[in-house]
Amino acid sequence: MTDNSSVARVPGIDPQEMQEWIESFDAVLREEGQEAATLLLDRLRARAQLLGAGPVFTANTPYVNTIPAERQGVFPGDQEIERRIKSLIRWNALAMVVRANRVDHSIGGHISTYASAATLFEVGFNHFFRGRTEEFEGDTVYLQGHASPGVYARAFLEGRLSAKKLENFRRELRPDGGLSSYPHPWLMPDFWEYPTVSMGLSPLMAIYQARFNRYLEDRGIKPKTNAKVWAFLGDGETDEPESLGAITLASRENLDNLIFVINCNLQRLDGPVRGNGKIVQELEAAFRGAGWNVIKALWGSDWDPLFERDVDGLLVKRLGEMVDGEMQKLVVESGAYLRQHVFGTDPRLLKMVKDIPDEALRTLRQGGHDPRKVYAAYKAAVEHTGSPTVILARTIKGYGLGESGEGRNITHQQKKLNEEELREFRSRFGIPINDDQLADTPFYRPPEDSREIQYLRARRQELGGYVPSRKVRSKPLVADHDALFREFLTGSDGREVSTTMAFVGMLRQMLRDPEIGKLVVPIVPDEARTFGMESLFRQVGIYSSRGQLYEPVDVHTLLYYKEAKDGQILEEGITEAGSMTSFIAAGSAYATHGINTIPFFIYYSMFGLQRISDFIWAAADMRCRGFLLGGTAGRTTLAGEGLQHQDGNSHILALPIPTLWAYDPAFAYEIAVIIQDGIRRMYKDGENIFYYITVMNEAYAMPPMPPGPEIRDGILKGMYKYRASQNKKSKLRAQIFGSGAILREALKAQEILDEKYGLAADVWSVTSYKALYNDGINTERWNLLHPTEKPRVPYVSQCLGDAPGVLIAATDYLKALPNLVSKWVPRRLAALGTDGFGRSDGREALRNFFEVDARFITLATLYELLQDGKIEPSVVEKAIKDLGIDTEKANPLLA
Ligand SMILES: Cc1ncc(C[n+]2csc(CCOP(=O)(O)OP(=O)(O)O)c2C)c(N)n1
Ligand SMILES: [Mg+2]
């Protein structure tokens, strides 16, 4: 399309001369073709730069459709019947929300998001989104969460959801079941695949999903296909930093299997997204600058004749200068207002619309509401190669709600319509419901043999089945992998290793295993060397879609930085969020692709649950499987790094995520037991759980696993007695709980107590307070509900039984962690932990600062005995001196 809009705009150039320049360009384009015209522009741009008139760069195109009318092609569907289907869906979606709120006005729900997205969704459902079949993996579609009523309403027409279910929208706890507010695979595991409602998560998830699909193909784990990943987003949603945070990855990786559709209704919840600017242009520049293919679908077909008449580019210029706040106003105002405000600025513009009546002007459609424009954009997107595509579609929020919401600032939360408003909506969309039924607002589904239902079914059949639809298609693993983990059960023969190194050793073994080797997906955010994983670079390679185009600087070394097209490690760079979305793609591949990939995402533990917990929450919702490894974990094990690195928090932050099993192991054999059992539970037994395991970088000799079947069981359930006291005679007794890095301090305290105070202490390794806590609350709940039956006993209480003496727990995490189980232990529990800000110093100094070292464990034990009247205060006072404890030292909680 020739855009003459700049002619009138450029100051100081004779319009006549400008016209000649433009005509010359037109001639090149016409006679030499597009490539030559582009070349000419490039040369001119370079010349301008050379002569000091540059840089000449704009990432924006005029405020018009990217695909001009003459290139949009034909719409292959039956537009009339698709409009009728869409209208019925609109009605049922609206009825769901309105009815749910009649029963209980606090139920909520959204009408206006789907009202704006309906055409964007329906063109996809009728023509593009391919279902998952035996032959074809299908497309992956992230649907805007707040538009879920429209997705349910379509499934109702498809015969997949009953009217009863619709009636129970947002009332999932009804005896006959209901529908979840938003897309939640946890709640509707046969229906929803991808949770999208915490805004900003799905764009990042979609990018890494598209990249993961390529990774599987490049590694030969799945066949190459032309399956697409579609992500439908709100324009307001793009303000979330995660939304645009990885768009350069998508273009760098040439992800032409990825399509974003941004529903640009110019509004968010409170009001306009950019009242004083233009969100479409802002997004265009961002995406185009990042190397995406950008398709703007702003104006419906009604506008085509106007643009045709716009030979001087006046209209394009006028639309380009109006801010979004003004654009939004046009939606709620009359045709006369539009005539005056859009066209009234120039008599030539007014002339363009003089034959168009006000009412027709008012109802000129937006691009995102015109199936032909949307179809053309989608078609161009799926055919585009070499880069991802974003479609910026202009829509109206609350489309069709008329004065009760269309384009209004209140529309996002509109959920009640009175009878008059319902009547208007019904009539506008031609829903066959009588006036006297309106008060009931019934759902409407045409008979099975109606043209609408037949058409809709035929379209979905043609496209391979219903979307969304979730099905687990992977086969369970068969092996037990005993041999794989055996070497880690026997200790390190005095060699000092960290649990991180031990884990990396296990990873290396797993990568060699005939069954799981290929399925393992190691993920690191630029931290492999920190964890001593660089040996894996060479062993399995770092994934790169381009292989390695350069000779790495360390090519002559054994462990050089090897990138390869079939590399197995996902080296994500410094993005924990991006890495987590790779974890999500790999951890849900058992459903998405029917492939049991086993992700191991290892990261600096402070930057995990603390920084990206919402993604971890989404992973749980998605029933993800796999292992998260919090590396260099613990507040006092990570010497030197200080406040922002030392993690005493993550085991507390792991608590709320129901399917996440969190472990703080101290020894290699504990990790081996946990990982082996985890693989069995997730990939053999099909449990929808995942793991968080903290690993440390403090090196010490790894002991062999103590004998006895109860050890393995105890490691998994959360605690076991690691070392009983050898002192059988003492009357002074204690039970000391240690975990992870602090277990060895507990063992030292055991010795001090024995040698200096004649006290016999047993030391327990508590591998998971979360597991103990969950077992405790589950047991309590069962007892509460079964008062006449023999009460069950929590595992932690069973362990301790009548174990004698005082109880002391020491952890490298907050004191709240051991306190979680205090009500199920036989006596008072003293907790030592690391509440407060970290410091950079050595381990010894840190453990003194946080009062969790062997001396403080000794002191706490003696103090507990004092409380029990078993020793005198003077003994404790002397101990403080003997242990060299400074009673005036800073309080770590406040310091
Ligand atoms: C992370 C997050 N923050 C806030 C919300 C609450 N919220 C739900 S919808 C919405 C406005 C959405 O606007 P937009 O993205 O433009 O979508 P539209 O409904 O306009 O299509 C907000 C703020 C949320 N769901 N997620
Ligand atoms: Mg919006």
DSSP per residue, 366-401: BGGG-HHHHHHHHHHHHH--SS-EEEEEE--TTTT-
Mutate to test the pocket of ligand 1, among 266, 408, 412, 614 (most ligand atoms within 8 A of CB): 412
Q: How far apart are CA 839 and CA 645, in angstroms?
A: 9
Q: State pLDDT tens for residues 732-754.
A: 999 999 999 999 999 999 999 99
DSSP conformation class of 872: -
Q: Given this model, what pLDDT does residue 413 score?
A: 86
825 or 412, higher pLDDT: 825
DSSP per residue, 543-607: E-TT---S--TTTTSTT---EETT--BEE--S-HHHHHHHHHHHHTHHHHTS---EEEEEEEGGG
Q: Given this model, what pLDDT does residue 15 score?
A: 83
Q: Given this model, what pLDDT does residue 490 score?
A: 97
Residue 325 alpha carbon to ligand 2 centre in Å: 13
pLDDT value at 4 more than 50: no
Q: Please report which residue ranges of 414-548 form alpha helices under DSSP H.
A: 419-428, 451-462, 482-486, 499-512, 534-540
Residue 121 alpha carbon to ligand 2 centre in Å: 15
Q: In this structure, which ligand is nearest to the CA of 261?
A: 1
Q: Given this model, what pLDDT does residue 271 score?
A: 96
Q: Is the dihedral of CA 868, 873, 877, 883 positive or negative?
A: negative
Residue 414 alpha carbon to ligand 1 centre in Å: 14
Q: Given this model, what pLDDT does residue 5 score?
A: 45
CB-count burial class (<10 Å; 0-12, 13-18, 19+) for 14: exposed
Q: Given this model, what pLDDT does residue 307 score?
A: 96
Query: What's the distance, CA 176 to chain centroid?
Result: 31
Task: Quote the Cα angle for 289-293-295, to 5°.
Answer: 110
For a pLDDT cut of 90, what percent of the chain falls above it? 91
Residue 368 alpha carbon to ligand 1 centre in Å: 19
Q: Which atom of ligand 1 is nearest to the CA of 116?
A: 21
Residue nearest to atom 10 of ligand 1 (CA): 269
Residue 269 alpha carbon to ligand 1 centre in Å: 6
Residue 199 alpha carbon to ligand 1 centre in Å: 6
Lowest mean pLDDT across 139-143, 359-363, 611-615: 359-363
218 or 403, higher pLDDT: 218
- The answer to whether the CB of 660 falls within 8 A of the CB of 634 is no
Residue 269: CB within 6 Å of ligand 1?
yes
- For the chain, the average pLDDT equals 95
Q: Which atom of ligand 1 is nearest to the CA of 238?
A: 15
Q: How far apart are CA 356 and CA 40, in angstroms?
A: 40
Q: Which atom of ligand 1 is nearest to the CA of 201?
A: 1
**Cα-based torsion angle of the residue sequence 287, 289, 295, 301 in order, rounded to the nearest 10 degrees:** 110
Mutate to test the pocket of ligand 1, among 237, 244, 324 (most ligand atoms within 8 A of CB): 237
Q: How far apart are CA 34 and CA 30, in angstroms?
A: 8
Residue 116: CB within 6 Å of ligand 1?
yes
Taking alpha carbons only, the member of 579, 606, 600, 604 closest to residue 506 is 600
- The answer to whether the CB of 647 falls within 8 A of the CB of 692 is no
Residue nearest to atom 19 of ligand 1 (CA): 113
Q: Strands 627-631 and 598-604: what pairing?
A: parallel
Give the pair of three-digit tokens for residue 156: 């109702």
pTM, rounded to two decimals? 0.95
Q: How far apart are CA 528 and CA 536, in angstroms?
A: 9
Q: Residue 18: pLDDT band by 50, 70, 90 thresholds?
A: confident
Residue 786 in 3-state DSSP? coil
Helix (H) or strand (E) holding 306: helix 304-309
Residue 264 alpha carbon to ligand 2 centre in Å: 6
Q: Which atom of ligand 1 is nearest to the CA of 268?
A: 13
Residue 232 in 3-state DSSP? strand
Give the pair of three-digit tokens for residue 412: 């996002």
Residue 374 alpha carbon to ligand 1 centre in Å: 23
Residue 265: CB within 6 Å of ligand 1?
yes
pLDDT value at 11 more than 70: no
Give the pair of three-digit tokens for residue 855: 């001396």
Residue 109: CB within 6 Å of ligand 1?
no
Residue nearest to atom 25 of ligand 1 (CA): 198
Q: How far apart are CA 184 and CA 620, in angstroms?
A: 10
CB-count burial class (<10 Å; 0-12, 13-18, 19+) for 12: exposed
Q: How far apart are CA 161 and CA 151, in angstroms?
A: 10
pLDDT value at 379 more than 80: yes
First-to-last C-alpha distance (Å) of the chain: 67
Q: State pLDDT tens for residues 514-526.
A: 999 999 999 999 9
Q: State pLDDT tens for residues 43-66.
A: 998 888 889 887 777 899 999 999
Q: What is the mean pLDDT of residues 825-842?
A: 97
Residue 505: CB within 6 Å of ligand 1?
no
Q: Given this model, what pLDDT does residue 784 score?
A: 98
Q: How far apart are CA 721 and CA 668, in angstroms?
A: 16
Q: State pLDDT tens for residues 183-236.
A: 999 999 999 999 999 999 999 999 999 999 999 999 999 999 999 999 999 999
Q: Strands 496-497 and 520-524: what pairing?
A: unpaired
Q: In this structure, which ligand is nearest to the CA of 112?
A: 1
Alpha carbon distances (Å) from 363 to 297, 334, 358, 427, 847: 17, 9, 9, 16, 71
Q: How far apart are CA 878 and CA 874, in angstroms?
A: 6
CB-count burial class (<10 Å; 0-12, 13-18, 19+) for 224: exposed
